[in-house]
């Protein structure tokens, strides 16, 4: 599982004061983003144990079409090595009016991608292999190996974006999409399929009151959503969005006799992770928020349920 790759292609420019300022505002390491992502793809290609790769969104810096096409090329190389790849969008990837290129003397807008273009660009990375596709979002169900259904779920709110505001970072499921997901989970249970989840936003709090203080990192109605997933036998979900590396168990067995447990792997920005290690900070399995605060009570070991 990889996430928050935030690819920035060299071809969009890396000169001038605006690019320097952009570099200083975040931890995405845009100047070596392409090298980092190429190295990652190379490692995945060489890893014989990897059978399929899931990508939990934020594939690009800010949804630039050119960056999506560069990511498509890298993911294509992984697939050419015999491994399947499955993606979902992140909040940076679609209808993002911050999409820009750097000209040396400044910066200028470049085309972002629409939901339909995202589906088309990543057709070979989930959408064309889908057993089912949600008509109301970019969610789908695939079967990467026989007996395992992958619920790739679109938790983004890109339909709220416009040129006057920064792209929406919030996560939620549309009512019709959550109904569709529940219908397919019920079918998976009926057919005795194992299920895992893949989405950009968290579906469990990774520290107390996360939804209250960092509301855009966890989907709306997360308690009901995660309980429903657990009810249908989903024992593991993979997410991205927040710069944290943490397994979070969700215990629901006390609520009803039939609700099972759900565990979520909450991964963080690939590039932030590397930045943190370059900065000699403790990074492995230490839970950090995107704002640099160490979360209370970090899980130091993966917890298996
Ligand atoms: Fe994100």
Question: Does the pLDDT of residue 242 top 70, yes or no?
Answer: yes
pLDDT band at residue 248 under the 50/70/90 scheme? confident
Residue 258 CA to ligand 1 centre (angstroms)? 33
- pLDDT band of 293, cuts 50, 70, 90: very low
- Given strand 236-239, what is the order of strands in its sheet? 132-133, 140-145, 148-153, 194-199, 236-239, 262-266, 246-250
Burial (Cβ within 10 Å: 0-12, 13-18, ≥19) of residue 6: buried
In this model, does residue 291 exceed pLDDT 80?
no
Domains for the chain: give ranges and CATH numbers: 10-278 (3.60.21.10)
Q: Is the pLDDT of residue 251 over 90?
A: no
Tell how far the Cα of 77 is from the centroid of ligand 1, in angstroms. Answer: 24
Asked if 243 contacts 288 with a C-beta cutoff of 8 angstroms, the reply is yes
pLDDT at 208: 80
What pLDDT digit, counting tens, does each position of 45-81 carry? 999 889 999 999 999 999 999 999 999 999 999 999 9
How many angstroms separate the alpha carbon of residue 61 from the centre of ligand 1? 10
Pairing between strand 262-266 and 236-239?
parallel
Distance from C-alpha of 63 to C-alpha of 71, rounded to nearest angstrom: 11
- What is the Å distance from ligand 1's center to 137 Cα? 17
The DSSP element (H or E) to which 145 belongs, if any, is: strand 140-145
Residue 283 falls in which region: left (phi positive, over 0), alpha (psi -120 to 50) or beta: alpha
Q: What integer pLDDT is reported at residue 241 of this predicted model?
A: 87
Residue 124 is classified by DSSP as: I
Q: What pLDDT is recorded for position 206?
A: 79
Q: For position 269, what pLDDT does the model report?
A: 65
CA of 203 to the centre of ligand 1 (A): 14
Interval between CA 96 and ligand 1 midpoint (Å): 12
Query: Phi first, then psi: what are they for 143, rounded to 5°?
Result: -125, 85
Give distance in angstroms: CA of 147 to centre of ligand 1: 30
CA distance 153 to 139: 4
Ligand 1 centroid vs 4 CA: distance in angstroms? 7
Give the pLDDT confidence score for residue 28 in this predicted structure.
Answer: 80
Ligand 1 centroid distance, CA of 230 (Å): 24
Centre of ligand 1 from the C-alpha of residue 130, in Å = 24
* Per-residue model confidence as pLDDT tens digits over 192-212: 999 999 999 999 887 788 888
Cα of 227 from ligand 1 centre, angstroms: 23
pLDDT of residue 86: 98
Q: Cα of 49 to ligand 1 centre, how many Å?
A: 28
Q: Is the confidence at residue 185, as pLDDT, over 80?
A: yes
Query: Can you give the pLDDT at residue 170?
Result: 95
Q: How far is the CA of 156 from the centre of ligand 1 (A)?
A: 9
| 91 Cα to the center of ligand 1, angstroms | 5
Q: Tell me the pTM.
A: 0.86
d(CA 2, CA 52): 11
| The pLDDT value given to residue 258 | 39
The torsion angles phi and psi of 214, rounded to 5 degrees, stand at: -130, 60
pLDDT tens, residue by residue, 85-128: 999 999 999 999 999 999 999 999 999 999 999 999 999 999 99
In this prediction, residues 3-8 reach a mean pLDDT of: 92
Residue 300 has pLDDT above 70, yes or no: no
Q: How far apart are the C-alpha atoms of 51 and 279, rounded to whole Å?
A: 32
- Place 289 in a pLDDT band, splitting at 50, 70 and 90: very low
Give the CA distances from residue 57 to residues 93, 135, 151, in Å, rounded to whole numbers and listed in that order: 8, 19, 14
Cα angle value 208/198/36 (rounded, 5°)? 95
**How far is residue 15 CA from its own chain's centroid?**
29
Q: Phi and psi for 145 in degrees, rounded to 5? A: -135, 150
Which residue would you say has higher pLDDT here, 269 or 30? Answer: 30
| Centroid of ligand 1 to alpha carbon of 16 (angstroms) | 26
Mean pLDDT of the chain: 84
């Amino acid at each position: 599982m990889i996430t928050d790759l935030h690819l920035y292609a060299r071809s969009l420019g890396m000169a001038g004061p605006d690019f320097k300022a952009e570099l200083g505002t975040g931890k995405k390491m845009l100047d070596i983003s392409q090298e980092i992502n190429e190295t990652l793809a190379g490692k995945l290609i060489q890893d014989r144990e990897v059978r399929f790769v899931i990508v939990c969104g934020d594939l690009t810096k800010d949804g630039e079409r050119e960056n999506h096409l560069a990511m498509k090329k890298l993911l294509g190389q992984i697939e050419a090595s015999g491994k399947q790849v499955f993606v979902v969008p992140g909040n940076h990837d679609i209808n993002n009016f911050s999409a820009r290129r750097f000209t040396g003397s400044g910066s200028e807008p470049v085309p972002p991608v629409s939901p339909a273009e995202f589906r088309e660009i990543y057709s070979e990375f989930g959408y064309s292999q889908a057993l089912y596709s949600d008509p109301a979002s970019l969610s789908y169900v695939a079967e990467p190996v026989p007996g395992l259904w992958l619920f790739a779920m679109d938790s983004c709110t890109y339909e709220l974006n416009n040129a006057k505001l920064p792209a929406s970072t919030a996560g939620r499921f549309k009512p019709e999409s959550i109904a569709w997901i529940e219908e397919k989970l019920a079918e998976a249970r009926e057919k005795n399929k194992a299920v895992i989840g893949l989405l950009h936003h968290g579906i469990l709090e990774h520290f107390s009151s996360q939804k209250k203080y960092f509301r855009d990192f966890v989907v709306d109605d997360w308690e009901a959503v995660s309980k429903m997933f657990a009810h249908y036998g989903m024992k593991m979900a993979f997410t991205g969005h927040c710069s944290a590396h943490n397994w979070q168990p969700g215990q629901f067995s006390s609520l009803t006799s039939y609700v099972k447990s759900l565990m979520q792997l909450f991964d963080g920005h690939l590039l932030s992770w590397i930045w943190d290690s370059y900065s000699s900070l403790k990074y492995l399995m230490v839970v950090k928020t995107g704002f640099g605060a160490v979360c209370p009570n970090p899980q130091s070991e993966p917890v298996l349920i």
